[in-house]
Chain A
């Protein structure tokens, strides 16, 4: 067993430099690495490129890093829940690249799978296709899209062991497994960190080889964006 444990979020982000390219797991506020985002805030690294499906909300998730102007560029599929984001985008302070959600997921997967490019039909005939190579397979047009890789991938899982093996819960899995594979350094924060042998190897979603640092988050707020209930 190779022990991947670090003392906590502060140690995990200790060597993240200004202008780093980060991937951050999560869909909306579901499955986001809350503790590591807090540590990035505290550390105050600047000029970050953040690859994440969404950009959080004004006072939670990546939105916190936007408020402190730590993000230079956002690569995402949907950013609609964030007023500060809108302000920075309109004023030109923030660069934004919007990518179809399935393409974003596959670009991360490709990055972790050692596949530099692939073809997808998403975005053909739209502004997403501008400047991209297209090819026809079986009579249908596809766009070439490139892999995405990160200096640091930051993911959140439900359970993990010292070896970095991860299990996700519910729809908090989302982008986390692909992003975990696509980081030069992958940091995993988990709700429950257990010794080797405590997790069933049959149930592992992300094998520990992809994870370089793991710690148990101190506190999880797990904020809900749309609290919908049935009577």
Chain B
């Protein structure tokens, strides 16, 4: 099983040279720490920054420079600042190449639920619905099962939907899977020490397993 860092490291392998990337809050934010030095990408923050840099040093802190998680950040050389409408313009028009975000549930058709749990305080969807509705390439970082052991890779999402048919790939603590255009999860890799059988048992939605499934290299 992978811990959060492991999931972030595996997702970082999906990052390719020249990509503009939007990272969600939580595990997705950690991905930035594991992108290889020779892979040049630009990180987009939906509150209006292209070129997110590392967290500032104490003396560099600037209240006017935060990321979408409201954390203080710095800017890389060559950054650009813009309004929220320009920001979502570049998201909606597909200029952002890769979106990495967390999920509570994903269905075998690629539907995602990640914004609301009935009975709990609703915090709002923020930019999640805009991102999932428009991004061409969405990778989800998630736990394969709940703490009670219930699968989160489902036939149908039980929680309120954030977007339909949008997730392309999932990196969970147990596996890497593609969501097939015709529906179903295709198992690509196993987490270290996890068997195909365990993944089958942990996946409620249709799971396609063909041939030998390699272990992830992290």
Contacts and interface: CB of A to CB of B under 8 A. Distances in A.
Interface of A: 27-31, 53, 76-81, 86, 89-90, 96, 98, 100-106, 108-109, 120-128, 158, 169-178, 205, 222-230
Interface in B155-180: 160-164
Interface residues of B, number: 49
B130 A86 contact: no
Contacts of A175: 83-84
Interface in B54-95: 54-58, 61-67, 69-73, 81-85, 87-88, 91-92
Given A102-B88, A178-B85, A77 B69 contact: no
Contacts of A176: 83
A109 B82 CA distance: 14
Given A171-B65, A174-B84, A175-B83, A226 B70 contact: yes
B66 A103 contact: no
B122 interface: yes
B163 A105 contact: no
7 contacts: A77-B124, A105-B83, A109-B85, A122-B130, A170-B81, A174-B83, A224-B61
B84 A122 contact: no
Contacts of B122: 79, 89, 96, 98
Nearest to A127: B160
A72 to B, nearest CB: 18
Given A101-B126, A120-B92, A171-B81, A86 B121 contact: yes
Given A77-B126, A100-B130, A224-B72, A170 B61 contact: no
B99 interface: no
B124 A122 contact: no
Nearest to A125: B164
B70 A30 contact: yes
Interface in B79-120: 81-85, 87-88, 91-92, 111
